[in-house]
Amino acid sequence: MIELEYNKISNRVYSELEGHCHSFYEIYYFISGDARLMVEGKIYNLTPHTLFLLAPNVYHGIDIVSRADYIRHILYLNPQDILPERMHLLTEVAPDHKKYPNANIVYEHTEDFHLEQFYHNMKQLENVSPELRTSLQPIYAEALLAQINLLCRTLKPSTFIDRTPEKITDIVNYLNLHLTETHSLDSIASHFFISKNYLNKTFKQYFDKTVIDYIRYKRVILAKQYIQSGESAMNAALQAGFSDYSSFYRSYVKYEGQSPRKDIGKNHSE
């Protein structure tokens, strides 16, 4: 899947800071507006021509805080869409969040790299035949990734004031690093020497989810990645940390709104 999304919202204020995850990469280019982006509990105040590089299973959401026009481009990429010899163009700029939770993913003042033109070029593919579009999309995507690689090697990544409590940041990094292991609210609270009530209350304040819901949701997205790469639903569930298929199925339907069967390739069965 290579999908380009252009979005302009006028005269509207809304918040999606409760967040969501994808099983694919998201190259988010903010053009204008008055908005904030939440990434794993951290809040970024957006400035024009800011680039965000989001790997799969990164929890994020948007908050549009005024009625000014909100404009942005997003390119969605599955790893399977990029040639193996070109994958470094993607993984170097959007590293695995589980392994590198503090990796640089934000770059401001990117005007000199003319990223909007690359998105515009991909948009033009909507006017050609499906066959030609399928053939050209990976090439155009790789061209954008090559330009982003140049950008990342030229500009310094942006810094910001992180108002997320350090304890919550530590918990998030710990959960992502040990996502597939067995957890309980008691064990997590004990590991960080805090009460269960404080843990759930503070965590929900920044993620709009309880700790356990966050873990289940992340496991569902991880399992979806495995399914899309060819694993059976059962194997995907076990690899993602679910102890049994029934609990996985219920969680998948809850968060994805459909059966895992919908994401299984034609040559695989549930």
CA atoms within 13 A on the CB side of 125: 20
What's at 240, amino acid-wise? A
**CA distances from residue 117 to 7, 71, 81, 82, 191 in whole angstroms, order as listed:** 15, 15, 21, 21, 49
Residues 30 and 44: their CA atoms lie apart, in Å, by 12
pLDDT of 97 reads 84
pLDDT of 265 reads 56
pLDDT of 159 reads 79
What's at 211, amino acid-wise? V
Residues 89 and 83: their CA atoms lie apart, in Å, by 10
Q: Which homologous superfamily is 2-154 in?
A: Regulatory protein AraC (2.60.120.280)
pLDDT of 268 reads 41
3-state secondary structure of 25: strand
Distance of CA 40 to the CA centre of its chain: 9
- Is-contact 137 125, C-beta < 8 A? yes
| Location of each CATH 2.60.120.280 domain in the chain | 2-154
Task: Calculate ∠ Cα 10-16-20, nearest 5°.
Answer: 130
pLDDT of 160 reads 74
Give DSSP secondary structure letters for 192-220: TT--HHHHHHHHHHHHSS-HHHHHHHHHH
3-state secondary structure of 60: strand
Per-residue model confidence as pLDDT tens for the chain (270 residues): 799 999 888 888 877 767 899 999 999 999 999 999 989 988 899 999 999 999 999 999 999 999 999 999 999 999 888 888 999 999 999 998 888 888 889 999 999 999 999 999 999 999 999 999 999 999 999 999 999 999 999 999 997 766 778 888 899 999 999 999 999 999 999 999 999 999 999 898 888 899 999 999 999 999 999 998 889 999 999 999 999 999 999 999 999 999 998 777 533 433
Q: Is the dihedral of CA 178, 238, 21, 268 positive or negative?
A: positive
* Topology classification of domain 166-263: Arc Repressor Mutant, subunit A (1.10.10)
- Is-contact 46 35, C-beta < 8 A? yes
pLDDT of 266 reads 38
3-state secondary structure of 98: coil
| Location of each CATH 1.10.10.60 domain in the chain | 166-263
